[in-house]
Structure 1
C-alpha cells in the first residue's frame, strides 16, 4: 500500500514539475462542468501506461464532495486480474480558477498538485476524456465498465486531434456488467 502511494506521489511530483515547464493553457478544456454531475464513480476504459497504475485492471476513480468544497478522490484497481488484490490511492482535487472549471489540480501529496484537464465531456456526463499538462498522461473514463466501440473510436479521434499519440493508449480490463 505504501509503495503504491509512493509511486503516485513520485509520478504526480514529476507531472507537477513538468507542468511548470510547459504552458498548460495550450490544451483547451471544457468550458462548463457541473461538479455535482461529475461526482461519482468513473470506470477507466483506456489510459496511457504509467508506473502508478502498472498491472492494475478494473480501475475506477470515485469523486465525492468534501465539506470544504474540494473533491475527495479515491482511485482503485485490482493487481493483475479482476480478482486480484485491491490497490487504492486517496487524494483531493480542486478548481484553482472558477472561470476554468475543466482545469483541476489533484493532490496526492500536498503541496504538489498535478493538472487534471477535462478535455471533452459528454453532455449527460456518461464519458470523459481527461489529460494533463504533460502529453504522457491521458484517460478515457466512462460511467459504465464497458463502452460502445464507435463511441470509443470517436473519443480516441478527439484525443488524436488534440495532439496525443494514441498508439500509446491501452485498454483497461473491466468486469462485465450484469
Structure 2
C-alpha cells in the first residue's frame, strides 16, 4: 500500500492546523504545516491584507507536493494542513509521486469562521482576507478522494468523523 498524504483543507480559520495535529497524533504520522513553507514575500503580502494570486501560490504548492513525495519516498505517510482551496491546487498536490493524496475539507459558514478568525492571535492572515478565500474556495468534487467535515463541532469530533469517513483507524 502506497504511503498516504492526508491534506486537511479549507479557508483560513477553519481549524486546519488543530484538526491536522489531532489526525497526525491518532494515526501516528508526522504533520506538515504548509504555512511554514510560504515564502516571506507571500507572508508579507497576506499580512498587508493583499490576497495571494495563483502565481503566488503555485511555487508554494510545488514545495508542498515535493514534501509529500519526499515522505512517500521514505515510505512515510503524512498529514498536511494546507488551504488547497481550488481544484487545480489539489490536482497539483495529487501529483506527489508515490503517495495517495486524500483530502479532508473543513467546511463552515463564513459567519462561524469569521468569528473564529477574530479570536485568533499570532497569525499573519488577517480576517479581512476571508472573503477572498471564500471566493476562491472550490469544494471537493464527487470524483476527488476525500471527505467534507462540518466544523460546527469540537475538533476531536471532526478528526474522528474524518477518520471514520475515510476508513482509517
Instruction: Specify if TM > 0.5.
Output: no
Q: Which of structures 1 and 2 has the larger relative contact order (alpha carbons within 8 angstroms, sep 6+)?
A: 2
Instruction: Give the TM-score of the pair, scaled to structure 1.
Output: 0.27
Higher helix share: 2
Instruction: Give the TM-score of the pair, scaled to structure 2.
Output: 0.28
